[in-house]
Amino acid sequence: MALGVSERAEERRHDAQEASFAPNTHRPWHAHSRAYLLAAVGFMGIFLFGYDTGLGGGVIALPSFAKDFNITGTKSQIAALQGNIVAILQGGAFFGALFGAPLEDRLGRKWSLMVGCWIFILGGILQTVTKTSLSLVYGGRFTAGFGVGLMSMVCPTYASEIAPKEIRGRITGMFQVVVVIGVAFSYWINYGVTFMNPARGAIQWRIPIGFQLVPVGIMVLLLPILKESPRWLATKHKDELALKNLAWIRKLPASDPAVQFEFAEIIAAIREEEAATKGASWREIGAKGNPIRFIIAFTIFTLQQWSGQNSISYYAPTIFQSIGLKGAKTGLLASGVYGIVKIVATAIFIVFGVDRFGRKKPLLTGIALMSLFLWIVGAIFKTHIPNPAATTVPPASIGMAVCIYLFVIPYCFSVGPLPWVICSEIFSNRTRHYGLMTAAATQWAWNFGVTKATPLMVIKMPNGGIFFFFAAINIISFTLALLFLPETSGTSLEAMDIIFGSVTKEEREAEIARRAGAIEKAFDDEEKGVTSHVEHHDDKV
């Protein structure tokens, strides 16, 4: 049965690639420099995603923070309070992601990012200026989370819509590279402030919290240079500006055949969707071939969040201390090294692998290796339980730390970047904002649950139990991806409709040919008009 599903999916993918008239140009990287630049500006908001992911777990490990906000009580009470502080950001991000879809449908991608920035700035200020009020910390993190959640669904939408299909995986995969850079920054800044004199008090925790205002401030200054997404403009029937922006991003004249065929494919897909649903974009969620895309988005992010990596990221100092690396400073140092490993591994895959090896094979390979390393960590933990009274780090704890570092390498070429890459490309032009809303909201909802659960899971699932749990989740992920996930690399965004059965290859080819002919005729008429005007002027002279 699985073979039959796989064969049908591959056949549809082949049809989809044939139906796209836009050629695979394989231009040099600098020919796409504008697409890279625009995506990089948009992805500055994702730096905040990563930075705040690692920020909470590190700051609450600082004695100055615990003292100023009176974080005391039993071990379980402190764990629950820490979970609240970290998880409230995820709660805000969930609602921000839901709000993002109608906002970007109305305002577009560019100005929705600007709204997200200013909401985040408000939240960052609230967190930085508070002195002893946990209520302000909660309010600030929720507000900042709202801004992050909004940007987390707008950024990949924008990046996928401006990217040429031959390098789309590389551009949309920048999402995860920027996330892990943000996480690493938070780890190392948290580690750096541990060397400050504790007598200086609140400045120790205010520095890592206040730093988040720097990248968002730079992003606000750079956003005005962004070109609006040609695909969003086309859905709003601003075809002339859409073609102009597409040509500018591709660094080609609007009359170039590659630009004209790509634009014709965009218009053909959008007009087909409008005709099928009488112009009401929300109806398209349930249209033929669309529900399965939303199921994929929900499932892939549910399983991503329960893969085990996020628990290690959020509470890396706590996790490393639980396996025998003692002291807040030691735990933060181990977390900082962990962050560097993630940056290097993710960047190598995104630059050299994602468009070469596709989506499905790296995902399956990575999930299998992640599960293997988690089983090993759990087994070592079970047989060599760390001694809290030990004055040195035992070899078993070093072995577990090494396996955790090894665990994150396959994560960086599978469950980390690929869910964002896949979800940014599988949806149609008129449902992409709803699709990325579903993906981001699912991610943040489970993010909230995992963040709340992890401190208690460390306590309630001792002797390696937490690692066994996540290893089993990854086996489920492998099975579902193997059976039901289609390969989507090398296919235009519009041709995804063929992969998911919304239209046939023949129907799409006919519509593209009709649209391309109309565009070519318009250019010919324009040139003839100019020529006639010049000839008429010459006759007068």
**What confidence tens digit (pLDDT) does each residue in 74-119 have?**
777 777 777 787 778 888 999 999 999 999 999 999 999 999 999 9
- In the predicted model, what is the mean pLDDT of the chain? 84
In the predicted model, is pLDDT for residue 279 greater than 60? no
Cα(449)–Cα(466) distance, rounded to whole angstroms?
15
pLDDT (tens digit per residue) in 473-526: 999 999 999 999 999 998 889 889 999 988 888 888 888 888 877 777 776 666
Cα(183)–Cα(301) distance, rounded to whole angstroms?
19
Joined together, the tokens standing for residue 312 give: 């290690």
In the predicted model, is pLDDT for residue 425 greater than 80? yes
Separation in Å, CA 262 to CA 60, 247, 286, 505: 50, 10, 26, 16
Largest CA distance in the chain: 101
Cα(429)–Cα(161) distance, rounded to whole angstroms?
8
pLDDT (tens digit per residue) in 42-59: 999 889 888 887 777 678
Average pLDDT over every residue of 194-198: 81
Confidence band of 541 (pLDDT split at 50, 70, 90): very low
Cβ-based neighbours of 281, under 8 Å, separated by 6 or more: 105, 235, 273, 430, 431, 434
* H-assigned helices in 130-212: 134-162, 168-193, 203-210
Which is more confidently placed, 331 or 338? 338
236-268 CB burial, b ≥16 within 10 A, e <16: eebbeebbebbbbbbebebeeebbbbbbbbbbb
pLDDT (tens digit per residue) in 148-191: 999 999 999 999 999 998 889 999 999 989 988 988 888 888 88
In the predicted model, is pLDDT for residue 402 greater than 90? no
CA 334 to chain centroid, in Å, comes to 25
- pLDDT, position 326: 61
By percentage, how much of the chain surpasses pLDDT 70? 86
- pLDDT, position 202: 84
In the predicted model, is pLDDT for residue 21 greater than 60? no
Separation in Å, CA 131 to CA 80, 127, 134, 200, 469: 21, 9, 9, 14, 39
Cα(417)–Cα(207) distance, rounded to whole angstroms?
29
Name the burial class of residue 528, with classes exposed (0-12), middle (13-18) and buried (19+) by CB atoms within 10 angstroms of its CB. Answer: exposed
Cα(53)–Cα(50) distance, rounded to whole angstroms?
5
- pLDDT, position 315: 54
Cα(420)–Cα(42) distance, rounded to whole angstroms?
15
Which residue carries 């396959």 as its tokens?
A: 410
In the predicted model, is pLDDT for residue 399 greater than 80? yes
Plot region of 486 (φ>0 → left; ψ -120 to 50 → alpha; else → beta): beta
Joined together, the tokens standing for residue 355 give: 């468009």
Strand (E) or helix (H) holding 491: none
Going from the N-terminus, what domains does the chain have, and what CATH number goes with each?
Answer: 35-274+300-491 (1.20.1250.20)
Q: Are 209 and 124 in contact (CB under 8 A)?
A: yes
In the predicted model, is pLDDT for residue 8 greater than 90? no
Cα(297)–Cα(437) distance, rounded to whole angstroms?
10
- pLDDT, position 335: 66
pLDDT (tens digit per residue) in 60-74: 778 888 888 887 777
Residue type, 385: I
- pLDDT, position 462: 79
3-state secondary structure 348-411: HHHHHCHHHHCCHHHHHHHHHHHHHHHHHHHHHHHHCCCCCCCCCCCHHHHHHHHHHHHHHHHH
What's the pTM value of the predicted model, to 2 decimals? 0.83
Q: Are 175 and 46 in contact (CB under 8 A)?
A: yes
Cα(267)–Cα(247) distance, rounded to whole angstroms?
15
Confidence band of 304 (pLDDT split at 50, 70, 90): very high
Q: Which of 163, 153, 84, 199 is nearest to 297 (CA)?
A: 153
Cα(124)–Cα(213) distance, rounded to whole angstroms?
6
Cα(243)–Cα(249) distance, rounded to whole angstroms?
10
